């Protein structure tokens, strides 16, 4: 019989599904809950158990992992009579891997502590490919003892796992990550349009650029998106818009100027307003093409 902790997984989207499956492959017993039946069916097919409610999923769990879109969803699944805090056992550990505001994480940890439940915030970077390949970067906020307890599970999901500070610190680092990624994608998108309009072989150009100082994980991961105009969502513009709101608000609160970030936040918002919110964030290329007079 397995001595590994029992895991409840709440939220089986683009990231949550492959991540939960990697835990199953690592030998963990995973009971999942999400709103879509097909995602529950996928979990069951992978060897997990599908629950009919949050309460059912978490009642016997040692560890509860949440991966939902934003702060309102984290609050919705955590609080209230059907939520995690009312139904998890004392001593359970919540690992919230959603990307939310630092204050939401701080509040959740405080409220959970009153129930005898431990919490760490552990947002991730690496996109769908990183989730599938279990090579995510995981930035953690919380107590060192809770981080240590969670580490074997996190090691089944990611490659770079770092305790960044107290509750909310993981979310602050994730906000910085999203700032860097958005600016990087925007720069790549502008380069792509510049190169194409100049008549350069785009494939060759991106290869040589990625071999020098201009190279990046963004360019490696998104090169084919740019070349093929394939914007099937790995990470949706809608979610990056939410994250840019988090980082700009957090930066304002601490007095940090984000002049380039503020511009890119507006470009992300404009792309979303044009109906492209469901596309991958590499679709920032479409916005640059529109500004450059190209029909998209």
Domains of the chain as residue ranges with CATH? 7-166 (3.40.50.720), 172-291 (1.10.1040.10)
The pLDDT tens digits of the residues spanning 81-121 come to: 999 999 999 999 999 999 999 999 999 999 999 999 999 99
d(CA 40, CA 26): 19
Give helix 259-271 / helix 237-254 axis angle, nearest 10°: 150
Sign of the torsion angle spanned by Cα atoms 183, 229, 266, 167: negative
6, 110, 174, 223: the active-site residue: 174
Torsion angle of alpha carbons 72, 77, 78, 84, nearest 10°? -170
d(CA 175, CA 178): 5
**In this prediction, what percent of the chain has a pLDDT beyond 70?**
99
Instruction: Return all residues near 4 (Cβ < 8 A) that are at least 6 apart.
Output: 27, 28, 29
Query: Does residue 174 have an active-site annotation?
Result: yes
CB 246 within 8 A of CB 70: no
User: Which residue is associated with the tokens 């770079």?
Assistant: 160
CB 288 within 8 A of CB 190: yes
Give helix 284-291 / helix 169-197 axis angle, nearest 10°: 40
The pLDDT tens digits of the residues spanning 277-290 come to: 999 999 999 999 99
């Amino acid at each position: 019989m397995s001595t590994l902790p029992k895991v409840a997984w709440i939220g089986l989207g683009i990231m949550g599904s492959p991540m939960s499956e990697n835990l199953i492959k690592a030998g963990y017993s995973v009971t999942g809950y999400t709103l879509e039946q097909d995602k529950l069916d996928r979990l069951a097919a992978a060897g997990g158990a599908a629950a009919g409610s949050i309460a059912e999923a978490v009642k016997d769990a040692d560890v509860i992992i949440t991966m939902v879109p934003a702060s309102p969803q984290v609050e919705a699944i955590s609080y209230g009579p059907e939520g995690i805090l009312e139904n998890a056992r004392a001593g359970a550990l919540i690992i919230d891997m959603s990307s939310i505001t630092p204050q939401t994480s701080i509040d959740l940890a405080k409220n959970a502590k009153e129930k005898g439940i431990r919490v760490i915030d552990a947002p991730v970077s690496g996109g769908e490919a990183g989730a599938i390949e279990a090579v995510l970067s995981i930035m953690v906020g919380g107590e060192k003892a809770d981080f240590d307890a969670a580490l074997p599970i996190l090691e089944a999901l990611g490659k770079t796992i770092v305790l960044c500070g107290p509750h909310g610190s993981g979310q602050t680092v994730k906000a910085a990550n999203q700032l860097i990624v958005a600016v990087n994608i925007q720069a790549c998108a502008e380069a792509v349009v510049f190169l194409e309009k100049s008549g350069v072989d785009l494939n060759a150009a991106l290869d040589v650029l990625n071999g020098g100082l201009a190279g990046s994980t963004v360019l490696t991961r998104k090169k084919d998106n740019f070349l093929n105009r394939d914007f099937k969502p790995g990470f949706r513009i809608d979610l990056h818009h939410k994250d840019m709101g988090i980082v700009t608000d957090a930066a304002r609160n601490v007095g940090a100027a984000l002049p380039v970030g503020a511009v890119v936040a507006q470009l992300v918002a404009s792309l979303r307003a044009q109906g492209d919110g469901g596309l991958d964030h590499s679709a920032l290329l479409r916005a640059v093409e529109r500004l450059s007079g190209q029909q998209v």
